[in-house]
Amino acid sequence: MSTFSDFGVNAALVKALADRGITEAFPIQAKTLPDTLAGRDVLGRGKTGSGKTLAFALPLASRLAGGRTRAGRPSGLVLAPTRELATQITGTLQPLAAANGLTVTTIFGGVSQSRQVSALRGGVDIVVACPGRLEDLMRQREINLDSVEVTVIDEADHMADLGFLPGVTRILAATPAGGQRLLFSATLDNGVDKLVNRFLNEPVLHSIDEANSPVAAMTHHVFHVSGVDAKKRLVHQLASGTGRRILFMRTKHQARKLAKQLTDSGVPSVDLHGNLSQPARDRNLAAFSSGAARVLVATDIAARGVHVDDVELVVHVDPPMEHKAYLHRSGRTARAGSAGDVVTLVLPEQRRDTQALLRKAGISVKPEEVVPDSASVQALVGEVAPYQAPAPQVEQTQSQSRPARNRGTGNGVRRGGQPGRGRTQSTGRNQSAGRGQSSGGGRSQHGGRSNAARSR
């Protein structure tokens, strides 16, 4: 592999990468860096886990260095389809930007915009944003894109799947026509090709492997189970190992329910789905990343944008509806050259559909009838982690959480004789976040809603 210095990456960025243990470029980086650093428009196609984030983070941090920081007028813009992906892009980009004296902020919906507005008014060089909230702030004149020199659209195909392309089109139209544009997408269908034709100027195409192809370092398994009860026992067995694993469910309710069941059985687990507020999502992802929770039970919201190192096993507890979802779910393991295993659990009535799904995904694997103690299952479980008792659900009164303020002893009756609301409240909700693990250090952010807004 080539080093980053070979491509003209400056010394400050090379050191920032080395401080994180990154010294050699992955293929997508090696192919794109000569063009992106030279200011050319680039269309990058590479499957998940190929190292695309660094492929655009480096030219952003390099080409914008030394520019003027202005309130509400960033010089760099990254568009991402989900809050999780936007947050993780910022995590990768921030140390590189700081090495060159640049600032980064993240903009997405589902939380109060006050911090985001404050950051913009204070001056920021690079904005990483989801389209919906960005358009809100554009309408409020809190941000102006007329000074953007480099624009990145990450996972454009997922933007299309979520119906975000009209917003992306309006945002790109607000950036200078002569700016550099980098678009990364696994496929060019669903209108992504129209974005390329309209906004990229003579783009250089770089592809790493065939779009939507399986990862070579990923081993696929298809386990046939006899019924729902057998499947439930198998899921608990597969979740019991010591390493990180992600279990995919079809519905939010089932994801929440399974995470709680696993936690109650001694396997610390957290859930991730669209009904969680942003602070709850942050806490759960932090718990999973830190190892406080070994299992993440998720809906397809986590199939894109959740980049956690060393996930050794992905389990499709509920097989997805289409092959692209299968590949993106599976892509949470075997990332950046690491190995990983993917298991699909199949009930008798799902066999025909799952066979067609795998054929479209380019996966050839012989199904196996299994029970929890089958040798192939035990090989994937590996060492069973010790039982970890779930944390008790704490009941806390308001008087414990804050000092009393000269209240009378009215036995909960207000003036005027009307019963007051009870003072005792539960500090935990009926979900696994905060059960069986530390909070993971998630920030407290005002504006999170119990039914989180769609990632925007």
Question: Can you give the pLDDT at residue 426?
Answer: 38
For residue 248, name the pLDDT band (cuts at 50, 70, 90).
very high
Note whether 4-208 and 218-381 share their fold.
yes
Of residues 186 and 58, the one with the higher pLDDT is 58
Structure tokens at 206: 């770089």
What fold characterizes domain 218-381?
Rossmann fold (3.40.50)
Coil, strand or helix: which one is 115? helix
What fold characterizes domain 4-208?
Rossmann fold (3.40.50)
Question: Can you give the pLDDT at residue 440?
Answer: 38
Question: Can you give the pLDDT at residue 209?
Answer: 58
Residue 234 has pLDDT above 90, yes or no: yes
Q: Which range scores top for mean pLDDT: 81-95, 167-181, 440-454? A: 167-181
For residue 2, name the pLDDT band (cuts at 50, 70, 90).
confident
Question: Can you give the pLDDT at residue 300?
Answer: 85
- Which residue type, as a one-letter code, is found at position 256? R
| pLDDT mean over 43-60 | 83
| pLDDT mean over 213-227 | 82
Residue 131 has pLDDT above 90, yes or no: yes
Instruction: Tell me the pLDDT tens digit for each residue of 376-413.
Output: 999 999 999 998 988 765 443 333 434 444 444 444 44
Under DSSP, the state recorded for 184 is E
The domains of the chain are located at 4-208, 218-381
For residue 417, name the pLDDT band (cuts at 50, 70, 90).
very low
Answer whether 288's CB lies under 8 Å from 270's CB: yes
pTM over 0.75: no
How far is it, in rounded angstroms, from Cα 257 to Cα 237?
A: 17
Of residues 64 and 24, the one with the higher pLDDT is 64
Question: Can you give the pLDDT at residue 331?
Answer: 84
Instruction: Tell me the pLDDT tens digit for each residue of 316-330.
Output: 999 999 888 898 889
Answer whether 219's CB lies under 8 Å from 212's CB: no
For residue 207, name the pLDDT band (cuts at 50, 70, 90).
confident
Question: Can you give the pLDDT at residue 192?
Answer: 85
How far is it, in rounded angstroms, from Cα 331 to Cα 45?
A: 15
Question: Can you give the pLDDT at residue 51?
Answer: 80
Mean of all residue pLDDT scores within the chain = 83
Structure tokens at 131: 């389209």
Burial of 394 (0-12, 13-18, 19+ CB in 10 A): exposed
| pLDDT mean over 230-239 | 97
Answer whether 112's CB lies under 8 Å from 121's CB: no
Residue 142 has pLDDT above 70, yes or no: yes
| pLDDT mean over 295-323 | 86
